Amino acid sequence: MPLVPGLRSPYAKIGRLVYFGRMLDKMRLHAAGRLPLADYGANLGKGFDSRCCNFLRVKYEDLQARVLAGDLDDAALLAWCHERGGARTDEECEIWNGFMIKRGWRDGAAGTLAQRITESGLVGQPVLTMFDYLDYDEGRASAPERPWEKI
């Protein structure tokens, strides 16, 4: 996948959560016509997006409409989610972050990750998780910096 200006790493946190900011970026970029649909279109609102919305107990479409209203920053959008779906505890956020940053490492997504690594020509790179894969595939190559240890 190409490096898309304005699409942040899945490791980037908003409040206590990884991935949430990336999902917001995808919503905004898609609405602006700047998200390559050939690479991202099929999974909008699915996969990690769906997991994130399920974790927050909000509907993707509702969050998307709120994001596109354009009057809230990312922290306020997370607060909006907490108002609707209920606030998450520190422990729940720790579990969410731990699950997400390790997805693809010795779990049910390992086969998919291996396939994507091969298809993207990233064999031999230190890609251990889906987050690593996204960063490498989009040209960020942050895995050697071990961003998960800064979370």
Are 96 and 55 in contact, with CB atoms under 8 Å apart?
yes
* Residue for token pair 């779990």: 107
- Please spell the DSSP secondary structure of the chain, one letter per residue: ----TT---TT-EETTEESHHHHHHHHHHHHTT-S-HHHHGGGTTSTHHHHHHHHHT--HHHHHHHHHH----HHHHHHHHHHHH-PPPHHHHHHHHHHHHHTTSSSTTHHHHHHHHHHTT-TTS---SHHHHHHHHTT---GGG-GGGG-
> How many other CB atoms sit within 10 Å of the CB of residue 96?
20
Residue 151 confidence class, pLDDT cut points 50, 70, 90 = low
pLDDT bin (cut points 50, 70, 90) of residue 145 is: low
Q: What percent of the chain has pLDDT over 90?
A: 85
Report the percent of the chain where pLDDT is more than 70.
93
148 neighbors 11 (Cβ within 8 angstroms): yes
Q: What is the pLDDT of residue 46?
A: 97
Which tokens in the block code for residue 30?
A: 């898609």
The pair of structure tokens assigned to 68 is 């596109």
In this structure, are residues 148 and 101 in contact, taking their beta carbons and an 8 Å threshold? yes
Predicted local confidence at residue 109, as pLDDT = 96
Summarised one tens digit per residue, pLDDT across range 5-33 is: 999 999 999 999 999 999 999 999 999 99
Q: What is residue 2's predicted lDDT score, i.e. its pLDDT?
A: 75
